[in-house]
Amino acid sequence: MKTAHDVIVIGLGGMGSATACHLAARGHRVLGLERFGPAHNRGSSHGGSRVTRQSYFEDPAYVPLLLRSYELFEKLERDTGRDIVTLCGGLMLGRPDSRTVAGSRRSAEQWGLPHEMLDAGEVRRRFPTFTPADDEVALYEGRAGFVRPEATVTAHVQLALQAGADLRFEEPVTRWEVLPGGRGVRVHTADDVYTAGHLVVCPGAWAPRLLADLGVRFTVERQVMYWFQPEGGTAAFDPRRHPVYVWEDTGGVQVYGFPAIDGPQDGAKVAFFRKGTVCDPETIDRTVHDDEVAAMAAQLRPRIPALPGRLRKAVTCMYTTTADEHFVLARHPEHPEAVTVACGFSGHGFKFVPVVGEIAADLALHGTTEHPIALFDPLRNELRQSATEPEETTT
Ligand SMILES: Cc1cc2nc3c(=O)[nH]c(=O)nc-3n(C[C@H](O)[C@H](O)[C@H](O)COP(=O)(O)OP(=O)(O)OC[C@H]3O[C@@H](n4cnc5c(N)ncnc54)[C@H](O)[C@@H]3O)c2cc1C
C-alpha cells in the first residue's frame, strides 16, 4: 500500500519529539502531529528543570538506560549547541533505610556507580543550606544534576526538522485506527486524514483518551512546582556549590529541588515527588492555592531553613502514573504490527527522553530493541491486576 509517510508520531512533547528525531535521523519519512505548539507548557515537559541521576532508587534496571541517556543528552548538546544538561551533583537524603537512600545505594553498588555516603554532620558541613536530623544520611552522586526540558524538546524538534521530518503543530489528533490486516494506520486530525506504515503514540497525560484500548489504567495527577526566593539571596544556592536533591521524610514523603538556576528573580525550585491530586488534562486547576504553598513551606522549613522565603511563582504540571510507577514502552499488544506506545512515565521520565526516543524508533522500525525494557511491558501482571480494579477518584 502506498503511504505518504513511513511513521506517524502522535504527541511532540518530551518523548514524541525525541522519537521523531531518531526516526528522521535514520532516514525515515516521519509525520509528527501535536495539538499545541513546540515546547508548550500544558503537558508534562515544562518548568525549566528536571532532576537527572543514575543511582536510581526506583529500580536498578533503569541504570543501563540512564547511562545511554546521558550519552545521548551530551550528543544532543553537541549537535545543537544548546545548553541542556548541568551535572551539579545530587544528594539523596533520608533515614538509611528509606527508599530514597537505600534504593539509590543499591543501584550505585550493583552498577559500580561513583558515589559517597555522608552522615548528617558531613552533609551540614559540605552543603550548609541543608540541616538533616542526626539520624539522617545522604548518598552524594557527582554525576547527578538537572536537564532543561524546553531546551530538550526544542533541540529534538530542530534536529527532526533538519533531518526532513514533517512536524505539524496546533493540529490535534481526533482518532486513529489500524488498517485491515494491520497493514498500516490511518490518523484523523481536525484538519486532515493521514496514513502511514506505523504509528507511535506518545500522548503524555492524554493516554487515557488516545490509548483507551491498551488495557492499562493511568492516573493523571496534578503536580505543582514552586520557586522560592531564599532568605539571604541566591548565592548559597549557586549551582557551582549547590546540588539537586531528593529528601524523604519518615512518612515516605519525598520533596526534591534544584539550585537557583532560573535567575536571581525566580529563586530556587522545589516540588513534591508524587503526592498529587487526580486531574484531567482538559480541566486541570492551574491556580496554586495558599494552603498548598503553606504545606510546601512547612516541609522545607526544618530541612532547608533558608529556602521558604517569598514565593516567586508556582506552576502546575501533570504526571501520568501506572500502578507500579514503571513506564509503558512496547509495541501495542492489540496492534503489534502497526502501533508502538510510549506512555505512563509516572513522574520520572524526563531524564530518559533521548533513550526513549531511540527505543521507540527501534520498536517502530524493527519490533525489538537491544535496550533492556522488560520492566515496561504493558502486559505485566502489576498492570493487568490494576486495570480491573474500580476507578479511583481521589488520592
Ligand atoms: C512537575 C513535574 C516534575 C517532574 N520532574 C521530573 C524530574 O525531576 N525528572 C524526571 O526525569 N522526570 C520528571 N518529570 C516527569 C517528566 O517530565 C515526564 O515523564 C515527561 O515529560 C513525559 O513526557 P511525555 O512526552 O510523555 O509527555 P508530554 O511532554 O506532555 O507530551 C505529550 C504530548 O502529546 C500531545 N498530545 C496529547 N494528545 C494529543 C492529540 N490528541 N493530538 C496531538 N497531540 C496530542 C500533548 O500536547 C503533549 O505535547 C516531572 C513531571 C512533572 C509534571
Predicted local confidence at residue 309, as pLDDT: 81
User: Residue 120 corresponds to which cell in the numbers above?
Assistant: 548528617
Under the banding of pLDDT at 50, 70 and 90, the label for residue 3 is low
State which H helix or E strand residue 152 sits in: helix 149-162
Does the reported pTM lie above 0.95?
A: yes
Q: What's 379's domain CATH number? A: 3.50.50.60
For cell 540541616, what's the residue?
131
- Is the same domain home to 336 and 316? no
**Shared-domain flag, residues 258 and 311:** yes
pLDDT class of 390 with cuts at 50, 70, 90: low
Could you tell me if residue 29 is inside a domain? Answer: yes
The atom of ligand 1 lying closest to the CA of 225 is 1
Cα(101)–Cα(84) distance, integer angstroms:
27
Q: What is the pLDDT of residue 372?
A: 98
Specify if 159 maps to a domain.
yes
Q: Which of 322, 345, 378 is the last residue of a domain?
A: 322
Identify whether 53 is part of a domain.
Answer: no
* pLDDT per residue as tens digits for the range 332-365: 999 999 999 999 999 999 999 999 999 999 999 9
Mean pLDDT of 59-79: 98
Enclosing domain of residue 134: 87-146+219-322
Tell me, in angstroms, the distance from the centre of ligand 1 to residue 318's CA. Answer: 7
Proportion of the chain above pLDDT 90, given as a percent: 94
The predicted-structure confidence for 179-237, as pLDDT tens digits, reads as follows: 999 999 999 998 899 999 999 999 999 999 999 999 999 999 999 999 999 999 999 99
Residue 52 Cα to ligand 1 middle (Å): 15
Let me know whether 260 and 360 are in one domain.
no
> pLDDT tens across 114-128, in order?
999 999 999 999 999
Min mean pLDDT across 51-55, 165-169, 309-313, 356-360 is at 309-313
- The residue that leads in pLDDT, 319 or 263, is 319
330 has pLDDT over 50: yes
Domain end among 267, 290, 322:
322
Cβ distance 221 to 321 under 8 Å?
yes
Number of separate helices (H) and strands (E) present in the chain: 9, 20
Residue 75: inside a domain, yes or no?
Answer: no
In a domain, 340, yes or no: yes
Ligand 1 pocket, 172 CB below 6 A?
yes
Quote the number of domains for the chain. Answer: 2
In this structure, the answer to whether residues 196 and 296 fall within a common structural domain is: no
Above 50 in pLDDT, residue 140? Answer: yes
Considering the domain architecture, whether residues 140 and 228 belong to the same structural domain is answered as yes
Same domain assignment for residues 224 and 308: yes
Which residue is closest in CA terms to ligand 1's atom 29?
13
Per-residue model confidence (pLDDT) at position 73: 98
Percent of the chain with pLDDT over 70: 96
Average of per-residue pLDDT across 55-71:
98
Question: Burial of 363 by CB count in 10 Å (0-12 exposed, 13-18 middle, 19+ buried)?
Answer: buried
Same domain, 311 and 166: no
Same domain, 171 and 142: no
Residue 77 lies in a domain: no
Residue 392 has pLDDT above 60, yes or no: no
CB 237 within 8 A of CB 268: yes
Q: Is residue 80 part of a domain?
A: no
Domain-terminating residue out of 322, 355, 375: 322
What would the pLDDT profile of 249-285 be if each residue is shown by its tens digit?
999 999 999 999 998 889 999 999 988 999 999 999 9
pLDDT of residue 393: 47
- Residue 199 inside a domain? The answer is yes
Whether 145 and 256 have beta carbons less than 8 Å apart is answered as no
The reported pLDDT for the residue numbered 391 is 52
**Cβ-based neighbours of 329, under 8 Å, separated by 6 or more:** 341, 342, 343, 356, 359, 360, 363, 373, 376
pLDDT at 275: 83
Whether residue 236 sits in one domain with residue 302: yes
> Does any ligand 1 atom lie closer than 6 A to the CB of residue 43?
yes
Residue nearest (by alpha carbon) to ligand 1 atom 31: 13
295 and 154 share one domain? no
- Across the range 56-84, mean pLDDT stands at 98
